[in-house]
Amino acid sequence: MLFPPVGLEYVATSAKGCVERITLLDLRYETEISDTDKLISLISKDVDIICVTIGWDRQFSEICHLLNRMPANIPLVVGGYKATEKVEELFKLCHTIDIIVRGEGEETIRDILNGLNLKDIPGISYRENGKIIHNANRPFPDINTLESPDRSLRHNKYPLSINGIQIANLTFDSVLSARGCPFDCKFCTFSLNPLGQKRNYVCRNVESVVNEIEKLEAGIVLFSDDNLFAIPKRAEEICDLIIKRKIKKRFLAQARIEIAKHPRLLEKMVKAGFKALLIGIESPHNWILNQLNKGFDQDTVRKSFAVLNKFPIFYNGYFIYGNIGETEQEMLYIGKFAKEIGIDAITCNKLRIEKFSPLKKIAEETPGYHVTERGELYSDMFSHAKLKKIGKKIKGTFYTPYRYVKILWKNIFIVKFFSPAEIISLFLTAPRIIISMIAKAQQKHKKQPA
Q: Is 123 in the site for ligand B12 (CB under 6 A)?
A: no
**Contacting residue, 190, 296, 356, 399, with ligand SF4 by CB under 6 A:** 190
The residue (of 227 and 357) whose beta carbon lies closer to ligand SF4 is 227
Q: Is 226 in the site for ligand SF4 (CB under 6 A)?
A: yes
Strands (E), 274-351: 274-282, 314-321, 345-350
**Contacting residue, 86, 234, 256, 268, with ligand SF4 by CB under 6 A:** 256
Among candidate residues 329, 57, 69, 314, the one with its CA nearest the CA of residue 189 = 57
Per partner kind, with CB cut-offs from 5 to 8 A, the member of ligand B12, ligand SF4, none near residue 82 is ligand B12
Per partner kind, with CB cut-offs from 5 to 8 A, the member of ligand B12, ligand SF4, none near residue 255 is none
Which residues does residue 346 pair with via DSSP β-bridges, in sequence order? 317
Cα separation, 22 vs 48, whole angstroms: 10
Q: Is 57 in the site for ligand B12 (CB under 6 A)?
A: yes
Least distance between ligand B12 and beta carbon 39 (Å): 17
Cα separation, 287 vs 297, whole angstroms: 9
**Contacting residue, 77, 97, 185, 348, with ligand SF4 by CB under 6 A:** 185
* Phi, psi (rounded to 5 degrees) for 123: 90, 10
Q: Is 351 in the site for ligand SF4 (CB under 6 A)?
A: no
Q: Is 374 in the site for ligand B12 (CB under 6 A)?
A: no
Cα separation, 408 vs 413, whole angstroms: 8
* Phi, psi (rounded to 5 degrees) for 8: -65, -35
Q: Is 322 in the site for ligand B12 (CB under 6 A)?
A: no
Cα separation, 445 vs 305, whole angstroms: 42
CA dist list (Å): 317 to 328, 383, 413: 20, 25, 21
Cα separation, 82 vs 79, whole angstroms: 8
**Which secondary-structure segment (H or E) carries 128?**
strand 124-128
8 Å CB contact between 75 and 97:
no
The whole-angstrom distance between residue 131's C-alpha and the CA centroid of its chain comes to 33
Question: Per-residue contact track with ligand SF4, 364 to 403, x per CB under 6 A?
Answer: ----------------------------------------
Least distance between ligand B12 and beta carbon 342 (Å): 23
Contacting ligand B12 within 127-166 (CB under 6 A): none
Q: Is 104 in the site for ligand B12 (CB under 6 A)?
A: yes
Least distance between ligand B12 and beta carbon 81 (Å): 5
For 314-366, where are the alpha helices, taking DSSP H only? 328-341, 359-365
Total number of residues shown for the chain: 450
8 Å CB contact between 317 and 347:
yes
**Contacting residue, 13, 53, 197, 283, with ligand B12 by CB under 6 A:** 53
Per partner kind, with CB cut-offs from 5 to 8 A, the member of ligand SF4, ligand B12, none near residue 185 is ligand SF4
In this chain, which stretch among 5-13, 238-246, 304-312, 378-386 interacts with ligand B12, using CB under 6 A?
Answer: 5-13
Write the DSSP string, 141-155: PPGGGSPPP-GGG-S
**Which secondary-structure segment (H or E) carries 171?**
strand 165-175
Q: Is 387 in the site for ligand B12 (CB under 6 A)?
A: no
Least distance between ligand SF4 and beta carbon 141 (Å): 20
Contacting ligand B12 within 428-447 (CB under 6 A): none
Q: Is 304 in the site for ligand SF4 (CB under 6 A)?
A: no
Least distance between ligand B12 and beta carbon 192 (Å): 9
Per partner kind, with CB cut-offs from 5 to 8 A, the member of ligand B12, ligand SF4, none near residue 256 is ligand SF4
Q: Is 359 in the site for ligand SF4 (CB under 6 A)?
A: no
CA dist list (Å): 429 to 162, 334, 406: 10, 35, 21
Position 299, amino acid:
D
| Residues binding ligand SF4 (CB under 6 A) | 181, 183-185, 188, 190-191, 226-227, 256, 280
| Residues binding ligand B12 (CB under 6 A) | 3-8, 10-11, 51-53, 55-58, 77, 79-82, 85, 101, 104-106, 108-109, 174, 176, 189-190, 222, 224, 226
